Structure 1
Amino acid sequence: MDDRQFRNAMGKFATGVTVVAAEVDGRVHGMTANAFMSVSLNPKLVVVSIAEKAQMLEKIKQSWAFSVNILAANQQDLSMIFAGQVKNNQEVAFDHLDGVPVVPNALAQISCKVSATHEEGDHTLFIGKVTDIQVNDSEPLIYYSGKYRSLAED
């Protein structure tokens, strides 16, 4: 199989959209990611998968903390900014949760301290011990087959 076929197959898995954020030297850095999952309830652990070529990799290694922000349906613009799809350097304001930058009004804001890392293929998996959570009610931003989607009502 070639890389495109693999990417197309992985795109058939509908996911939510997150912004992973970290702060280094007083400056917040973020990236859009859908490679996120919960790992454990006790202790509360999550994992994010960051490409070795991503700038965010070093930012998380430097800060040793990160947030996962599950985006709401009306936050597609933030997803596009942090995915590098919007090139005008828009200033994005962040809140903080347990000292970690979080996206305001996200469906869920999850602050984490890195508890372990695992290098696998061309990515590093960051296991994050959840230190705090804020949850809001709204519709999620969905990504499927290379496009943003929304949940259909029954």
Structure 2
Amino acid sequence: MDDRLFRTAMGKFATGVTVITTEFEGRPYGMTANAFVSVSLNPKLVLVSVGLHAHMHNRLQQTKRYAVNILAENQQALSALFAGQKKEETEVKFDTLDSLPVLQGTIATITCNVVAEHLAGDHTLFIGEVTEIRLNEGEPLLFSQGKYRELATLQENPTH
């Protein structure tokens, strides 16, 4: 099966956009990711999928901690920055939650301790037990078919 065909099919699934952050050797690091999922309510577990060759991969294996920053609809620039799409120097101001660097202005931030790692093809699935949550008002940044999207509310059709 062609890689492009697979990527195109996966792009048909609309996702939210997150930036995974951690602190390594005293410095904050981040990576844009849409491969994020809630796994369990009891215990509270979430999962992020990180490519084996991503810089974040080794950092997560060593720190065993990460934060999931769920981006707001006005944070496309942060998504592009942490995806490596912006080449100019940009200063990012971080807050701290549960001793982890987190982004300002997100609609939700979740901090985790890694409780399991599973190799899956060319990625590792990092399962994290949730330690803190911070919520803010706002709408999510969405991504589908290679483009950022906005959330719209559909009216219910009373005839169905």
TM-score calculated relative to the size of structure 1? 0.98
Counterpart in the other structure of 1:130: 130
Counterpart in the other structure of 2:30: 30
Measure the CA separation in 2 of the matches of 1:92 and 1:61.
24
Shift of 1:153: 3.8
Shift of 1:152: 1.9
What are the equivalent positions in structure 2 for 1:112-131 lying under 5 Å apart? 112-131=112-131
Measure the CA separation in 2 of the matches of 1:100 and 1:128.
14
Q: Deviations over 1:54-80 (max 9, x none)?
A: 000011112110000100000110000
The structure 1 segments of at least 4 consecutive aligned residues displaced by more than 3 Å after TM superposition are none
Structure showing greater radius of gyration is: 2
**Farther off after superposition, 89-98 or 78-87:** 89-98
Q: Deviations over 1:17-51 (max 9, x none)?
A: 00000101110110000000000000000000000
Give the alignment's Cα RMSD to 1 decimal.
Answer: 0.8
Q: Counterpart of 2:152 in 1: which secondary structure? A: coil
Name stretches of at least 5 consecutive residues in structure 2 with no aligned partner: 155-160
Q: Counterpart of 1:86 in 2: which secondary structure? A: coil
TM-score calculated relative to the size of structure 2? 0.94
Name stretches of at least 5 consecutive residues in structure 1 with no aligned partner: none
Counterpart in the other structure of 2:99: 99
Q: Counterpart of 2:75 in 1: which secondary structure? A: helix
1:104 is aligned with what amino acid?
A: Q
Counterpart in the other structure of 2:48: 48
